[in-house]
Structure formats: C-alpha cells, structure tokens
C-alpha cells in the first residue's frame, strides 16, 4: 500500500503528472490518518503529521 505524507490541492501540479485522484466527502476532509482508494483503484494510506 502506498503512503501519502502530504497533500496538494487540485491544480497545484502539472495536469500531465496526474496518475489518479481521490475525492473526499465533507466528513472525511479533515482526517489525519485514513485509508483511501484512488480513482484507479489503488489503496493509499494518508498519514499526515499532527
């Protein structure tokens, strides 16, 4: 499983480098540690610093 340790808002990187995306609903936007699934079906562990 991939681990993400930082986030980037949409448009903060070149669109050509995008490989998949994660869309969060309102209740899950402010979580520090969360298991996510990308649009490509890849599992990612979001593990942000406190």
| Domain residue ranges of the chain, discontinuous segments joined by + | 2-8+16-47
| pLDDT higher than threshold 90 for residue 35 | yes
Token pair 């402010």: residue = 30
What is the pLDDT averaged over residues 10-31?
Answer: 83
Do residues 17 and 39 lie in contact, with contact meaning Cβ atoms separated by under 8 Å?
A: no
Coil vs helix vs strand at 41? coil
- Phi/psi for 42 (5° steps) reads -85, 135
| pLDDT higher than threshold 80 for residue 45 | yes
| pLDDT higher than threshold 80 for residue 34 | yes
């Amino acid at each position: 499983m991939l681990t993400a340790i930082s986030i980037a808002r949409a448009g903060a990187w070149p669109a050509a480098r995008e490989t998949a995306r994660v869309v969060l609903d309102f209740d899950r936007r402010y979580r520090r540690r969360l298991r996510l699934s990308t649009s490509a079906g890849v599992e990612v562990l979001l593990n942000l610093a406190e």
